Amino acid sequence: MGILTNLVLSIMHLALIVIDLLFLWTLTRLLRHHWNPAWLAALDAAGKPLLDWYTSRIEKAARHINQRTFSEKAILVMAVITLLLARLFLAVLFSRQS
């Protein structure tokens, strides 16, 4: 494989890692609505800036489509669905490149 192919595969792999981390922090925030131990709060605090940015983008897109506001739980569920779809899409692309 050439250097360009390795660069593209490395970028795709990095994108998969970011998606997995966003998925972890989204599930952490969803769990904190029902269960609040100290380690879960620490994990949520670690991912707060990135997850707040991501959920604000989803909330803006949902407001653009539907013109109504959603609860934080609904936004987080939408985030999980979009992350799962993005993960599936990149995994399929990654498997085709290998």
Both tokens assigned to 81: 């669905």
List the domain boundaries for the chain.
3-97
pLDDT reading at 94 higher than 90: no
Distances (CA, A) of 7 to 2, 12, 21, 89: 9, 9, 21, 19
The whole-number pLDDT of residue 39 equals 92
Residue 84 makes CB contacts below 8 A (sequence gap 6+) with 23
Per-residue pLDDT band at 90 (split at 50, 70, 90):
confident
Higher pLDDT, 95 or 47: 47
The whole-number pLDDT of residue 77 equals 95
Q: Taking residues 65-88, what's their average pLDDT?
A: 92
The whole-number pLDDT of residue 67 equals 82
